[in-house]
Structure 1
Amino acid sequence: MEGEDATDTLPEKIKRMSREGGHVDVELTDGSTHRAYLIGDYELEEPEWSGDVGSFWARLEFPDPKDPGNLEEDQYPTQMGEITAKVTDNGWEEIELLTDVQRVKDDELERWEGIRLGEIESIETKEDEES
């Protein structure tokens, strides 16, 4: 990836990509690519001791609502999503792309839920084209 420092951790990479602007193309291991905009909102929880597992997530927004194709009757797609990962002694594991859906009951928002779109192969910053 252009401008990428091989020593960047996932949070550093996400922070740098957020500053660069434009959008990111997130390629999954199944070969599909999803365009999204990093919102700049992320959280890192480092493992506290050897053998512990920490977590990382970063918020993003898709240009259009992302329908994962397996929604239940009371779930509705949104434009929101996230990148999640586990942090272990061995580095970053299970780096995944999720889309957020709303679960609605009786016309009231009950809760937000993340649905897995797939494991991330690569994330690349792209400049937005002028219209």
Structure 2
Amino acid sequence: MGGKRGVYLIAGSMALILLLAAGAMAAMTLPDQLKDVPLYPGSKIEQVMDMQGHSMATLKVQADRDAVFEFFKKNVAAGGWKIVFQMQQEDAAVIHFQKDKLMLQVTIQGKEDDGSVTYTMVTGGTS
């Protein structure tokens, strides 16, 4: 491969990589169904998915798991969501909320080696 053809192929490949990277960075915002759910202060979005009426976001924060659990119980409920189920175990906690015909599940994992807590929010309609 040489000459102009090689240069164009490399330039095209680089453009494709930059386009895909820009798309991945742009995708790191919360899906619309999760926009009204408060985030624990200092949270960083790790992963998002938006698929056929269901949305998911995984976030990471430097905090205590119990503090994150209490934050969601208080602040999500203040937004009109009702707690329909909650459970705390030694290494994880789960809260289920409902608002009209929309369900929200928040799963909070225990502390990782770096002192961070990971939590996942999943939402979708009920039948």
* TM-score, with structure 2 as normaliser: 0.36
Give the strand-richer structure, 1 or 2: 1
Higher relative contact order (CA 8 A, sep 6+): 1
- Whose radius of gyration is greater, 1 or 2? 2
* TM-score, with structure 1 as normaliser: 0.35
